[in-house]
Amino acid sequence: MIANLRLALVLGFMFPLTLLLMPVQFLAIKLNLGLARNIPVFWHRLMTRMMGLKIASHGEMSRNRPLMLVANHISWCDILILGSLGDVCFIAKNEVSTTPFAGLLAKLQRSVFVVREEKRKSGEQAREVTQRLINGDTIVLFAEGTTGDGNRLLPFKSSLFGAAQYALEAQEIDRVHIQPVSIAYTRFHGIRMGRRQRARASWPGDIELAPHAKEFMKASAWDVDVCFGEPIVFDENTRRRVVAKQVEHEVRGMFKKSNYDR
């Protein structure tokens, strides 16, 4: 009963507000207004609070630019969490853009959609990421390429770091700052979660978004650790595979500390 009431309150408040902000955000993007950066942060912060998420941030987002945040990926909720901590844009699979409602939200978040299977489009997509970096946008990359189970990290795909490598070809950029970020769901209603409970927060790709989001919001009261590591300079001398391994090592260490040492 309480869970259903909580869900009704979240949807009853956030859905009308979202519909109200959508045309404002659309115009802000079209007119290239600074408001286009601020509205998503406001919306994400409000949404995470309404959902009962308690976010503990360790370290801070780097002020160096151009900046790419490279994080592990557990749930659709990761986007709300990182979006609440600062003005960021996400690199997302093209399938997200066609998802009902969520795809529209992703577009209004100014996400960059990529089609990994079509190499002929990779140059165009990389150029869009490069332009975003030149404009000072912070780009978020989920380097596992999919969502994990909340208990372990999947290997980071070095190919996804190609966007940073491509950006170096622009005259305006001679280096990209890569910052490792760890996301861990650690407590449920104040009680530290074990392996089975952490998996409950995860969103495997073969589960539909709407049912999972419904159950996640009904549960409420999740504690989340977000850890920011030290930025790594990616320049013309950097080897993509090496930096991918280095970032993965840093994220894995922070992730383990959040789950087992705090």
- Record the tokens describing residue 202, joined without a space: 């995860």
**184 is in which domain, residue-wise?**
2-261
Q: What is residue 122's predicted lDDT score, i.e. its pLDDT?
A: 57
pLDDT of residue 99: 85
The pLDDT of residue 4 is 78
Q: pLDDT tens for residues 71-89?
A: 999 999 999 999 999 999 9
Task: Give percent of the chain with pLDDT exceeding 90.
Answer: 64
Strand, coil or helix: 252: helix
Indicate whether 120 pLDDT > 80: no
Query: Which residue's entry shows tokens 């309404």?
Result: 50
Indicate which CATH number applies to the domain containing 50: 3.40.1130.10
As for how many domains the chain has, the answer is 1
Reported as a single tens digit per residue, the pLDDT across 206-258 is 788 888 888 888 887 899 999 999 999 999 999 999 999 999 999 999 999 99
> In 3D, which of 2, 37, 58, 104 has the Cα closest to residue 229?
58
Calculate mean pLDDT across residues 110-127: 73
Residue 177's identity, in one-letter code, is H
Task: Convert 237-257 to b/e letters by CB count within 10 Å (16 or more is b).
Answer: ebeeeebbebbbebbbebbee
pTM, two decimals, is: 0.94
With b meaning 16 or more CB within 10 Å and e meaning fewer, what string describes 159-191? ebbebbbbbeeeeebebbbbbbbbbbbbbbeee
pLDDT over 70 (residue 123): no
pLDDT bracket for residue 110 (50, 70, 90) = very high
CA–CA gap between residue 53 and residue 226 (Å, rounded): 12
pLDDT tens, residue by residue, 41-62: 999 999 999 888 999 999 999 9
Interatomic CA distance for residues 232 and 68, integer angstroms: 10
